[in-house]
Amino acid sequence: MSTPLKQLNAKIFREQLHTKFKVHEGGEEPMLLELAKVEERNDSPEMELFSLQFLGPFTPRLEQKIYRLEHEKLGDFEIFLTAIAADQQGTMYESVFHRFRNKPA
């Protein structure tokens, strides 16, 4: 069952730091990415701005596009990933969220 992205915020992702996310790409075995960093800016009460950084294997390298991720606690959801760095430890991917904050009901 898919988890709506509007239910996931920086605090929820921060609670999952250093856990594994499966990236589903076609019919192949999923690639594992580790949530390495969550950065949040609180410049505006109306806007939510945060980024996630995931560490994956050096190869194969994922191309820049939307992927379905699966996590044991957060469920599955789709986010846009782009490679931002690579070294002997692996490839670092980033997803940036810039959206209106959810207003309390």
Coil/strand/helix, residue 76: strand
The candidate with the shortest Cα–Cα distance to 20, out of 68, 66, 70, 58, is 70
Structure tokens at 33: 């990415």
Phi and psi angles of residue 22, each rounded to the nearest 5 degrees, phi first = -90, 130
Instruction: Identify whether 104 is part of a domain.
Output: no
Q: How many domains does the chain have?
A: 1
Instruction: Identify whether 105 is part of a domain.
Output: no
Instruction: Identify whether 47 is part of a domain.
Output: yes
Instruction: Identify whether 32 is part of a domain.
Output: yes
CATH code, 32: 2.40.30
Instruction: Identify whether 43 is part of a domain.
Output: yes
Domain range for 48? 5-99
The answer to whether residue 3 scores a pLDDT higher than 90 is no
Q: Residue 48 gets which letter from DSSP?
A: E
Q: What is the pLDDT of residues 39-61, one digit of tens each?
A: 998 877 888 899 999 999 999 99
Q: Which residues pair with 98 in a beta bridge?
A: 49
Distances (CA, A) of 88 to 18, 56, 70: 19, 11, 25
Q: What is the pLDDT of residues 68-100, one digit of tens each?
A: 999 999 999 999 999 999 999 999 999 999 888
Instruction: Identify whether 46 is part of a domain.
Output: yes
